[in-house]
Amino acid sequence: MWLQPSPEDMSATGRIVAWKQAGDVVVAEGEASGSYCAYTDAKNNKERPALDRYRRTFIWVKGSYLLILDDLRSPKPVEFTWLVQGPKLTAVDAVHGRYLLANTKAECPFQVVADAPFTAVIGVSTANDHSKLLGWQQLQASATLPMIRFASIYDPWHRQDLKMTMLYSDREHATVTVSGSGISDTWHWQAGAGRFERGVLHGKRAGGFDIVVDAKAVPPTTVAAPVKK
């Protein structure tokens, strides 16, 4: 059964809070905690509070990588399960969070790290087509905490040498570094104060880009074109 979490105001379910494009770098930040409402299963004695935050930032660096930053928060400890799925999923170096997504014609290496310990297993995806399971595989990275931040990097250009680390000083700040052939990038990540308030992201490449995404990075507005009769 599908239960629409926000039938009257979809802007409370999720929205883009920041957007910035600077040459080959595009950053989009969105908040989707309104899609994770409080849940109660009296029959199985299970419950979950509504999430305080599900902030996701996409960082597209053309020809280099796609970096995704996730900031997940709850008013009390809950089981967070971060998912990636596809037709085929292989563990390349599970200790360092390295995996390979593939289908019959394409593949994409990726790596995932977090600011807290998590358990990762490859399971069967529930993805289906008209109630028929697709038979996909799914990475399930789980931790029971009130808060966790994930960083994941994807290599659609098959550079093969990408490496990522995440350092954190507190629950509001973190630094993600990306290295590879011709790549030495740092992304300083500061969380927004409120539910839909923009965070601050500063990305820099030695001898390359220098981009700041902050309160000035307003998402584009969709304007309806006039109808000619």
Write the pLDDT tens digit of every residue in 133-156.
Answer: 889 999 999 999 999 999 999 999
Q: Which pLDDT value is given to residue 227?
A: 55
Taking the CB of residue 143, how many other CB atoms lie within 10 A of it?
Answer: 20
Q: How many residues does the chain have?
A: 229
pLDDT value at position 185? 97
What are φ and ψ of residue 187, in 5° steps? Answer: -125, 110
Residues in the chain predicted with pLDDT less than 50, given as ranges, are 1-2, 223
Closest CA to 72 of 9, 13, 151: 151
pLDDT per position as a tens digit, 146-189: 999 999 999 999 998 999 999 998 999 999 999 999 999 999 99
Q: Select from 174, 168, 198, 172 the least CA-distant residue to 187.
A: 174
Q: Give the pLDDT confidence score for residue 1 in this predicted structure.
A: 43
Q: Pick the closest to residue 152 from 97, 116, 112 (CA basis).
A: 112
DSSP letters, 51-105, are: PSEEEEEEEEETTTEEEEEEEEEEEEEEEEEEEEEESEEEEEEGGGTEEEEE-SS
C-alpha neighbours within 13 Å on the C-beta side of residue 98? 12
Could you tell me the residue ranges of all domains in the chain?
Answer: 10-213
Q: What is the pLDDT of residue 86?
A: 93
Q: Does domain 10-213 have CATH number 3.40.50.720?
A: no
Distance in angstroms (rounded) separating the CA atoms of residues 9 and 19: 22
Q: Report d(CA 48, CA 99) in Å as an integer.
A: 30
Who contacts 6 (Cβ-Cβ below 8 Å, separation ≥6)?
A: 12, 13, 34, 35
